[in-house]
Structure 1
Amino acid sequence: MSDRRNLSRREFIRMVGASGPGLALFGACGSAERGGRGSAGREPAEEDEMNVILIIVDSLRKDHVGAYGNRWILTPNMDALAADSLRFDRAYPESLPSIPARRAIHTGLRTWPFRDWHRASRQDVNLYGWQPVPEDQTTLAEILHAAGYSTMLVTDTLHQFRPGYNFHRGFDVFHFVRGQERDLYRPASLCPEGALRKVLLGGPKREHATRIMRQYLANTRGRRREEDWFAPRVFLKAMEFLDSAREAQPFFLLVDAYDPHEPWDPPAHYVRLYDEEYRGLEPQIASSGDSGWLEERQLKRMRALYAAEVTMVDRWLGNFLDRTQELGLLEETLVILLSDHGHAFGEHGIAGKVPSALYPELLDIPLLLRHPEGRGAGRSTGYPASTHDVAPTILGNVGLDPPSPMDGTDLTPLLEGDRPGQERPHLTAGYHDHAWARDGEYALIVRRDGSEPRLFDLREDPDQRRDVAPERPEIVERMFEEYILSDAGGPLPAY
């Protein structure tokens, strides 16, 4: 596909359509639900304190963003944000997928190695670490709320809606945009007749994928305008919150967008940017596992649908950032954007998110840190960063100490070109029953008991195509014992 990165933002808007948020949509956030724990005893904030906007974009691969070298996907707004930010070139989730990663973001504490895991009630995701924020852990929102911040959350990440998951704790207002994926928002029987027959379904989890799509198609029935899609709805609600936040500074606004998570069904004008010739069933869902069931043309279409979804998210992120600037808030607001993990599209023979496939397409995530005074703007850093660094970094920037120590490190010194207090010769992560470790030379993927290791020499093989574990068992043993078991504080839990 051709290089599209030289497009101006005006040309980009012309390509994807001129529709945008109308001024009539901006107003009070009275439709948001009241919530949050610990509102009593809140201290008034000092004047001129820094606001914070934290943006989580689910399933966004680093190599699908122009600022990280992508040459065929349109992401002008993320690229512009990166130009004003400190860009992290080595950022990874502490654990994954969605819920474990968000627990680390919200608390600054490691979720992996998933100790004391139990399958939560009313839960259909049976993955280690997939459970609520523990009651004895304090969230970033609770800390900022107690310091006098107005705290707001808008998200369409459906798993956070479940009772008792505690992601809304500490927020004065929160708004859940309903209907993503298998959210039981409408009866599945409302799935439009014939709609499911237009979707390509197959692979190792065909039955599961079919259930998701039937529910999703019922949830999204009746959409007409682009503003009815999920990413626009999330960022439009976030803009409403901004209007109210302007009168209630300092504020903390968390914008958590589930797109570009599957299913991928963006409006057609985005898809045409990447693929105009396809005429088959739409591969809108990956059926996570072996990608061998997909023909190469179907994989190409799947990649195009994902790229189109990324571009739609980027466009509405741009609308949101434009509104932030119009309100005069960017000059006094710290902005952080990151993802929780990526998604595989046939690399290493996998499509989707599989615990054993802890390769760059799943683990390399974007992380941008924009300081209102321009510190670190336009620079990049190779310091290894992770999702559990977000909370201590925000607190470090606004001058607050956590009530108890956090596992993550404050990345603020990097804005001035200094090193954080914690050196990181290696990083570790976990996904269900698999663990991952890497340093400057090697990456290791292994089951929780150390079996079935795969080792890659990053100096010669950055894409991790050639497993050298049989040739270098001593390195496998060292990384498993000195990195994985050491970080875990002992053997990984067995269930």
Structure 2
Amino acid sequence: MNLVVVMLDSLRQDHVSFYGWDGCPIKTPHLDALAAEAIVFDNVYPEGLPTIPVRTDLFTGQSSLTNRTWQPLVPTDVTCMQLFRKEGYLTALVADTYHLFKPDMNFHRACDIFHWIRGAEYDACKAGPLEHLKLEDHVTDRMPDNWRNVVLTALRNLDGRVEPQHFPCWQTMDTALRVIEQARAARRPHFLWIDTFQPHEPWCPPAKFDVYGEKGYCGPKVVLPPGGPAEHWGTPDQIRRVRSLYAGEAAYTDHCVGHLLGGMRQMGSLDDTAIVVLSDHGHPLNDHGKFLKGPDRMFSELLKVPFIVRLPGGAHGGRRVSDLGRFPDLTPTLLDLAGLGTNHLALSGKSLKPVLEGTGNSPYRATVSGFFPAVERCLRNERYSYVIRPEGQPHELYDLAADPRETTNIIDQGKEIAQALLNEIGSAYFGRTAKPRGVQGTYEVAHTSLA
């Protein structure tokens, strides 16, 4: 069996139309077609956030949330690439996610083939003045000077890119197809990791996908919003325009995935290859007052991601499951699918193969997500989300079935639910012993022995 992982960066679950979220602004026909032949998970969550901790969890099958932040792989880390290479697989990595190829990151270790596609976000590959774009067209009057310089850096990499094939996401998928063709010609089983930075900001979709904004808007095209309160830098019209750019970027990403899947189908690769398509996390779009990622934004817009597994020939496909999963489960699941499950003993993740084949259920009753340096943690099961906040702030509990957009905090009437979630997660995940803390209690017991 061949294995292909397609990592999309910052794709929210509610922007994949197959998932059926109310208010999904786009159609994603290629991801939807894949999902129709696949096992689709509703509740597989990142553990350590963001970009690099996520990939550390996925590559190693270990949890980073308890002990490491954004950092390179260390010599003693054992990655999925190393394991599959030992077992005779041709291993390959194709990526435009530039954090992976920064000095000393080591994510291409044990790859027989690796390709770096340049030009995402702040990738240091261009300098000099802009030739086609203007900074003034992409910032608001209320953005500070330091942020304007950030935007300028991102615009350099966007400058001159117009057609879909000009952008790194398409180039990554196109390069991946060539790698698959070479691997099949070599007649060796292959494990390919494809890692694209789309639809991560800056959001500048090709014109044919930039169709979700309001007609008549004539303000700036804010491709890279700041992370503070959105009302501090943008008007309601400008904020809606930013959200429309993300929607266009997500639609473009689906188009690029379609290019990959169409090429694989044409060369017969879908018959003998297991494909996993997922995103490392979502992206806040002012759902709770801010854009960009942060430990204070532990809501579904950040944590709910697509996780789609198509087995060779579409076996066991056409199912949607609510079973819980953790990102460290990916490597043991892939090993299990390849018949190499004895490697599981060395991993903290668990194989989800029984869930994929319909012969078993999730081994978890709760998951935990967070940023290692931060106090905040989000504990979830299939129905509830419990957000632990820093000292002096009330904790939050949301009923995801009744309130999927997390607008009503029910912690005061749901402390037993919160405690039950807390009981499922070990203390190693927390900087201090946590206990459910409601709105009333937060302020009334402050600076007392009860705090």
Instruction: State TM-score, norm by structure 2.
Output: 0.88
Aligned length, in residue pairs:
427
**Aligned-partner residue type, residue 406 of structure 1:** L
- Structure 1 residue 76: deviation in Å? 0.4
Change over 3 Å in CA distance of 1:357–1:202 after alignment to 2: farther
Which among 198, 206, 212 is matched to residue 267 of structure 1? Answer: 206
- Tell me: CA distance 1:191–1:485, structure 2 relative to 1, closer, same or farther (3 Å): farther
State which of 165, 169, 173 in structure 2 corresponds to 1:231.
169
Where does residue 442 of structure 1 map in the other structure?
A: 384
Letter in 2 for 1:211: N
Q: CA deviation at 1:342?
A: 0.5
Give me the CA root mean square deviation: 2.4
Shift of 1:487: 5.5
> Which SS does the other structure have where 1:336 is aligned?
strand
1:206 CA drift (Å): 4.3
Instruction: Say if 2:274 is the partner of 1:334.
Output: yes
Give 1:311's match in structure 2, choosing from 251, 268, 275: 251
Partners of 2:285 and 2:162 lie apart in 1 by: 29
Q: What is the DSSP-based 3-state SS (H/G/I as helix, E as strand, rest coil) of the residue aligned with 1:344? A: coil
- SS of structure 1 residue aligned to 2:185: coil
Q: How far off its partner does 1:272 sit?
A: 2.5
Which of residues 70, 74, 96 in structure 1 aligns to 2:27? 74
Give 1:63's aligned residue. 14
Are 1:352 and 2:292 matched, yes or no?
yes
Instruction: Work out the CA distance in 2 between the residues paired with 1:242 and 1:277.
Output: 45
C-alpha deviations, 1:28-82, integer Å up to 9, x for none? xxxxxxxxxxxxxxxxxxxxxx000100000000011111015541210000000
Q: Distance in 1 between matches of 2:310 and 2:86?
A: 24
Q: 1:159 is matched with which residue?
A: 99
CA contact (8 A) 1:356 1:445 kept: no
Residue range with higher mean Cα deviation, 458-467 or 354-363? 458-467
**1:408-450 per-position Cα deviation (integer Å, ceiling 9, x unaligned):** 1111112221224x62111111124121102245311123669
Q: Match for 1:73: what amino acid?
A: I
Q: Which residue of 2 aligns with 1:195?
A: 134
Q: CA separation in 1, counterparts of 2:210 and 2:53? A: 31
Aligned to 1:408: 349
The equivalent residue for 2:83 is: 143
Q: How many percent identity over aligned positions?
A: 33
Question: Could you tell me how far 1:477 is from its partner in structure 2?
Answer: 5.1
1:288 CA drift (Å): 1.5
3-state DSSP of counterpart to 2:288: helix
Kept in 2: contact 1:289–1:354 (CA 8 A): no
Identify the residue that residue 242 of structure 1 maps to in structure 2.
Answer: 180
Q: Partners in 2 of 1:176 and 1:206 — Cα distance?
A: 33
* DSSP-derived class of the 1:348 partner: coil
TM superposition shift of 1:254: 0.9
CA distance in 2, matches of 1:383, 1:136: 32
**Distance of 1:211 and 1:309 partners within structure 2:** 22
Letter in 2 for 1:60: L
Q: How far off is 1:135 after superposition?
A: 2.1
Tell me the TM-score normalized by structure 1: 0.81
Partners of 1:460 and 1:318 in 2: CA distance: 34
Q: Report the more deviating stretch, 377-386 or 425-434.
A: 425-434
5+ residue gaps in structure 1? 1-49, 118-128
AA of the residue aligned to 2:94:
V
CA distance 1:174–1:190, change in 2 (3 Å): farther
Letter in 1 for 2:357: E
Aligned to 1:46: none
Matching residue within 220, 223, 226 for 1:287:
226
Letter in 2 for 1:402: N
SS in structure 2 at match of 1:190: coil
Aligned-partner Cα distance in 1 for 2:425–2:345: 24
2: distance between equivalents of 1:80 and 1:216? 33
Q: 1:323, CA displacement in angstroms?
A: 0.8
| C-alpha distance in structure 1 between counterparts of 2:299 and 2:430, whole Å | 24
| C-alpha contact 1:485 1:491 (8 A) present in aligned 2 | no
1:219 Cα deviation after fit: 2.4
Instruction: Tell me how far apart the structure 1 counterparts of residues 394 and 145 of structure 2 sit (CA, whole Å).
Output: 28
Q: Which runs of 4+ in 1 moved over 6 A?
A: none
Q: 1:427 aligns with which of 363, 367, 372?
A: 367
Contact map agreement 2:40 2:307 (CA 8 A) in 1: yes
2:398 aligned partner, one-letter code: F
Cα 1:373/1:228, change in 2 over 3 Å: closer
Q: Report the equivalent of 2:437.
A: none
Counterpart of 2:397 in structure 1 is 455
Does structure 1 retain, via aligned residues, the 8 Å contact 2:137–2:221? yes
Code of the aligned partner of 1:195: K
Q: Secondary structure at the match of 2:378?
A: strand
One-letter amino acid of the counterpart of residue 91, structure 1? V
Structure 1 residues 399 and 452, CA, compared in 2 at 3 Å: closer, same or farther?
Answer: same
* Structure 2 CA distance for partners of 1:472 and 1:489, relative to 1, 3 Å: closer
- Structure 2: which amino acid aligns with 1:87? V
Task: Give the aligned partner of residue 104 of structure 1.
Answer: 57
CA contact (8 A) 1:182 1:213 kept: no
